Amino acid sequence: MSRAAVGELVREWRGRRRRSQMDLALDIGVSPRHLSFVETGRSRPSPQLVIAIAEELEVPLRERNTLLIAAGYAPRYSQRGLDEPEMAHVRASIQRMLDAHDPYPGVVIDRQWNVVLGNRSAGALTAGLPAHVLGPPLNVFRVSLHPDGLAGRTLNFAEWAAYLLGQLRRSVVLTGDRALAALEAEVRAYPNVAALEKGMGRDGWSEAPVLVPFRLASGAVELSLFTTITTFGTPQDVTLDELAIELFFPADEATEALLRRL
């Protein structure tokens, strides 16, 4: 790729993070003039400068590799599948965490929020849903918001949909992922979601509670859950950088008792 290509990418990420050229230059220790030359293609950035820019702008590891390649350097971050031998200990540790969390649901999701791993209780949440909703891949947003998915079982759908759409929007902004952007357009076009947003109006999502529970009808009983999302602290591999562990916890004693009986 040309020098202009890496400059365009830097400018794109700077704009996405809403940072001025001067602000970014000062924070990474270069002159605004030099950063301007990088963005216009008049100057080729060193690999150290590329990484400094990427770190300051919180660019995901996958896109950091793209920046390095665009600047004419080799990618720095590996990308190994969870099934590869080098990742066996990571996969085993994640699975132990999920199994230990049982009887509460837990899943591992990738960058596009597709479920990569799950425990026994997580599978019970989607039992009985039609195949066209379940994938593969099984996607958290699609299965939660699709009219044929969990949406019909979600007792506080307006609240839960608002939370999910907010998560999806943040993921699109943070990653710049085109597949995620396409997924966002897809789920917002679902008739139940579109009707909900139209009914709410522009300010419909403004009064969110401190913690949004996931209230799910399961037969004649109700489950009330809240979630936590955990990521790896110091990943140097693209796959690990893009994985997150979502664990569900009972929000009341009745849910806890029910889950322990399953």
Q: Which two tokens stand for residue 259?
A: 């889950």
pLDDT at 219: 77
Average pLDDT of 116-132?
94
- CB distance 82 to 239 below 8 Å: yes
Question: What domains, with CATH codes, occur in the chain?
Answer: 3-70 (1.10.260.40), 85-261 (3.30.450.180)
Confidence band, pLDDT 50/70/90 cuts, at residue 261: confident
Return the pLDDT at 60. 96
Identify any residues that bridge with 244 across adjacent strands, giving them in sequence order: 109, 231
3-state secondary structure the chain: CCHHHHHHHHHHHHHHCCCCHHHHHHHHCCCHHHHHHHHHCCCCCCHHHHHHHHHHCCCCHHHHHHHHHHCCCCCCCECCCCCCHHHHHHHHHHHHHHHHHCCCCEEEECCCCEEEEECHHHHHHCCCCCHHHHCCCCEHHHHHHCCCCHHHHECCHHHHHHHHHHHHHHHHHHHCCHHHHHHHHHHHCCHHHHHHHHHHCCCCCCCCCCCCCEEEEECCEEEEEEEEEEECCCCCEHHHHHCEEEEEEECCHHHHHHHHHC
List, for residues 141-171, the tens digit of each pLDDT value. Answer: 999 999 999 999 999 999 999 999 999 999 9
pTM above 0.85, yes or no: yes
* pLDDT, tens only, 206-230: 455 568 899 999 877 899 999 999 9
Which pLDDT does position 204 carry in this prediction? 47
**What are φ and ψ of residue 140, in 5° steps?**
-60, -45
Does the pLDDT of residue 181 top 50, yes or no? yes
pLDDT at residue number 39: 96
* Bridge-based pairing state of the strands 106-109 and 221-231: unpaired
What percent of the chain shows pLDDT beyond 70? 94
**pLDDT, position 83:** 92
